[in-house]
Amino acid sequence: MNLSDVAIVGVGLTPQQKRSDRNSLQVALDAAKLALADAGLHHTDLDGIAARWPGPGGTVLAPGSADWSTLLGVPLDWIGDSYPQGVPALVDAAGAILTGQATTVLITGGQAGVLGGGRVAAYTQPGNEFVAPFGAFTSAHFALVAQRHLARHPHARQGMAEIAATIRNVGSANPEAVMAGRGPYTADDVLAAPPIVDPFTLLDLCLASEGGAAVIVTTLERARDLPHPPIVVLGAGMEWLRQQYVDPARYEQTWTIGAAAARKAFGQAGLGPSDVDVAQLYDVNSLEVARQFEALGFCGPGEGTDFARATGIGLDGKLPTCTDGGLLACSHIGWGGPTLKLVEAVRQLRGECGDRQVAGAEVAIASGAGSGAQYYNLALLGRAR
């Protein structure tokens, strides 16, 4: 079997909210049930799981953490809990399925009942002794990369604002988005929004919201008997440069993170950037979207914002990007955030996105992490032929 013999057959998205009255385990379970129903499967059909709550090592190694095997009442053949979300979990699940360790894997996660208000979200501030005393947090690490980029390419600031406005306006029109009905936004609105950490204003940065997201992965053969058109994994790649948010990210090392992963993924798929119909890029901030266009080979170095403007990344553009409104306007649910990208990619490829559907979407990118995080991953997904 090949990677493309593995398919996503179910997706589940709980209500995405600024603050939820559920807890993180509840939303992960809610998302799992929605994904099972979507896949036409029962939880006893699962034999593998990649999930996190509240930390890694839950099912086997962390007494008191969520034991998914007990929770679902299913003895599992395979567990992936080192990075159980988004593309890395999809790749791990595919590996388990292709090596015969599991046939049907649930990937679920999210956060709820954890966010306070007024300050930087606690989960973005590692309590490390060489980070916390200096006041760094996730967006500050990305900002330290961005500042060196903007010192070389000052014109990118305007393009960043245009990207943020475009994606936020897409989210405004998505009734499932946390920011549904907000806006419309212009680039000037983004530039004039309250500064958070230079160069980013509030509107350049992703949300910190609550909710759950899940996907179910199985063999293409099994997928053909299930209700939805199977969405297969055409290719994938990952890069792990360094542990996130401890040693600060250096621009020269991290600006192009993802280039090697993209070469691998496109190579596996036999495709190139021009074949991508929808791009569910990991938009933790506006500049990361432009950076990924450069790193993934859509354009040359320093051309990311110009590419976005010339190509059009809104729903009416040539490369609709973050078609649910992304992390910027739909939702960012902490550890579940990377899985949101898989969910929206699958929905677009199935053609079930209603008003935001991109006509003829056959190949999608879903990505995770970025320069400031010092790791990156992406998958190319497509309809099974």
Partner 1 sequence: MTVTDPGLTDLFWEAVGRRELVRPVCGDCGRNFFTPQVACPACLSENWAYERSDGRGRVYSATVVHKPPSPGFAVPFRLGIVDLDEGWSMLAELVDGPDGRLPAIDAPVRVTWIEREGRVLPAFTEDPA
- Residue 104 backbone class (left: φ over 0; alpha: ψ -120 to 50; beta: rest): beta
Q: Is 156 in the site for partner 1 (CB under 8 A)?
A: no
Based on the shown chain and the rule CB under 8 A, indicate whether residue 257 belongs to the binding site for partner 1: no
Residue from 73, 127, 175, 360 touching partner 1 (CB under 8 A): that is: 127
Residue 378 binds to partner 1 (criterion: CB under 8 A): no
Query: Which CB, 45 or 247, lies closer to partner 1?
Result: 247
Q: How far is the CB of 245 from partner 1 (least distance, A)?
A: 10
Nearest distance from C-beta of residue 81 to partner 1, angstroms: 19
Verify binding: residue 244, partner 1, rule CB under 8 A. no
Determine how many CB atoms are found less than 10 A away from the CB of residue 90: 29
Q: Pick the stretch among 26-34, 82-90, 242-250, 339-347 that binds partner 1 (CB under 8 A).
A: 242-250
- Candidates 98, 115, 246, 271; binder of partner 1 (CB under 8 A) is 246
Q: Which DSSP state fits 210?
A: B
CA distance 373 to 239: 11
Contacting partner 1 (CB under 8 A), which of 63, 75, 133, 175? 133
- Applying CB under 8 A, among 25, 51, 102, 131 the residue interacting with partner 1 is 131
Helix (H, G, I), strand (E, B) or coil at 196: strand
Q: How many residues line the site for partner 1 (CB under 8 A)?
A: 34
Single out the residue of 66, 136, 238, 313 in contact with partner 1 (rule: CB under 8 A).
136
Separation CA 360–CA 337 (nearest Å): 26
For partner 1, the closer of residues 132 and 310 by Cβ is 132
The strand pair at 375-383 and 231-240 is best described as antiparallel
DSSP assignment string, 240-296:
E-S-TTSSPPPHHHHTTTTHHHHHHHHHHHT--GGG-SEEE---SBHHHHHHHHHHT
Binding piece for partner 1, criterion CB under 8 A, among 232-240, 243-251, 334-342, 351-359: 243-251
Say if residue 54 is preceded by a cis peptide, omega within 30 of 0: yes
Rounded-to-integer distance, Cα 385 and Cα 101, Å: 25
Peptide bond into 175 cis (omega under 30): no
Q: Does 208 bind partner 1 (CB under 8 A)?
A: no
How far is it, in rounded angstroms, from Cα 72 to Cα 25?
A: 12
Provide the mask over 90-119, with x wherever binding to partner 1 is found by CB under 8 A and - wherever it is not: -----------------------------x
- The footprint of partner 1 (CB under 8 A) covers 119-120, 125-137, 140, 143-148, 151, 194-199, 246-248, 250-251
